[in-house]
Structure 1
């Protein structure tokens, strides 16, 4: 009986450690490498329908992003801010997560899909299409 209790405690501690390490990885404890793509979040633009987090469309001047499914985490990051740093310019900006870039329907697993305003704040031109960045929870 004592061995079973010890085994349960060990499993719980291991799960807590993994959970803590994952949370720390995205919350200032480190930055995650990603590819940033440009997306329109206004009605009729390439983003498709309204944003998954709030059911709204967003202007191209709003600092908003859609995250790949794993990072979107089933909506756990909805309406929270992330910090994005351009590897090209070194500039950093905070943007709000409003949507999912669905990895089951063509979006790669390492994408931060962002509005033109994010690109502008980072000193980047949207015609490039995709750039390397790092990001973390703000």
Structure 2
């Protein structure tokens, strides 16, 4: 009994599928110009979006080089430069010492050297001067 029901169901499904396919074919035949127009319009839309993104996208910022010329003129060593970067990041002397694996007294000495080379009396002044020179971002 169930086999007959399933068989008739499959025949009805196949017939429905065939009628839908024929209806689709008729629709596609009658409106083929509209379908082609839609596809061309969609292609131009995608092309316009892609070109717009490429043309009007902000240019990539130049890579930060740290102004090696200014570093050489000031005579900043590598460790002093690291301390200056940590200062610019807002780190305390203890945090800088822990990050660079040196004693806090060493950090104090290097900070004092950086201040002297930049002609600064405070951290904020040293950071501002280093940013003006392009040494730190």
Specify if TM > 0.5: no
Which structure dedicates a bigger proportion of its chain to helix? 2
- TM-score (normalizing by structure 2): 0.30
Bigger radius of gyration, 1 or 2? 2
Q: Whose RCO is larger (CA < 8 A, sep 6+)?
A: 1
- TM-score (normalizing by structure 1): 0.30
Which structure dedicates a bigger proportion of its chain to strand? 1
